[in-house]
A = this chain, B = another copy of it.
């Protein structure tokens, strides 16, 4: 039997209604001692890729946990509700790819169950609020020691829906990637892993050529934005191990007009 340190909870429910709290309440009734760590509830409504990215970047910091995630534009359709064991944790949510990148971040799926055992659900089950009525109560039961296999029907992990990972490739001495996310500071996180910098022969302190929006810019590759001059564009490796762009004291996403999904290419600056 696995022992879990906490539940975590990520949704697109927002913070203005009582939806998140209702789920907390249902969990508190089933597992009074379970701590719930809210990851975020401000995923843009229905944005499964954004939810998947935040979840995947956050779960590595957690103790063994039951991770509940609900960004579920297909609630009430035939999309499956699933629980997936990965490493020492279990992830629960709709089978629409939302969990897939986090499963990978935790080492891959070992076991998967379609949630069909309604004895673990909150009744009456509404057609539109599976977070409260299916996902969270099942999670709380697993936290208290219920075996994963008792939650429903075991299915092949290969049958789970997977999101296509953000694209990133090396091409003609360039790394090409997409904007994965923009944080509150306007820092632009790219799908380019830090290893690509080494492959391009770019060292800390070196200079990059960045191509995006038909512009070409140069920026130093530094270990942190704190060491740059105010207003300077820099590239750095962020806390998730991905290459990111920042403007010190400014907003790189605005300055460069780079929303999530925009394409960016990078190369070493050739000695002129």
Contacts and interface: CB of A to CB of B under 8 A. Distances in A.
30 contacts: A5-B29, A6-B25, A6-B28, A10-B18, A12-B184, A15-B40, A15-B42, A16-B183, A17-B183, A17-B184, A18-B58, A19-B183, A21-B37, A21-B38, A22-B57, A22-B58, A22-B239, A23-B61, A25-B61, A25-B62, A25-B65, A26-B61, A28-B35, A28-B63, A29-B63, A46-B249, A61-B132, A75-B226, A128-B225, A129-B238
A184 B35 contact: no
A1 interface: no
Interface of A: 5-6, 8, 10, 12-19, 21-26, 28-29, 32, 35, 37-42, 45-46, 54-55, 57-58, 61-63, 65, 73-77, 79, 122, 126-129, 132-133, 181, 183-185, 223-227, 236-239, 249
Given A25-B63, A223-B127, A184 B13 contact: yes
A184 B5 contact: no
B224 A75 contact: yes
Contacts of A40: 15-18, 21
A232 B15 CA distance: 26
B5 A32 contact: yes
Nearest to A77: B226
Q: Which of A58, A63, A127, A223 has the most CB of B within 10 A?
A: A127
Q: Which of A19, A133, A224, A239 has the most CB of B within 10 A?
A: A239
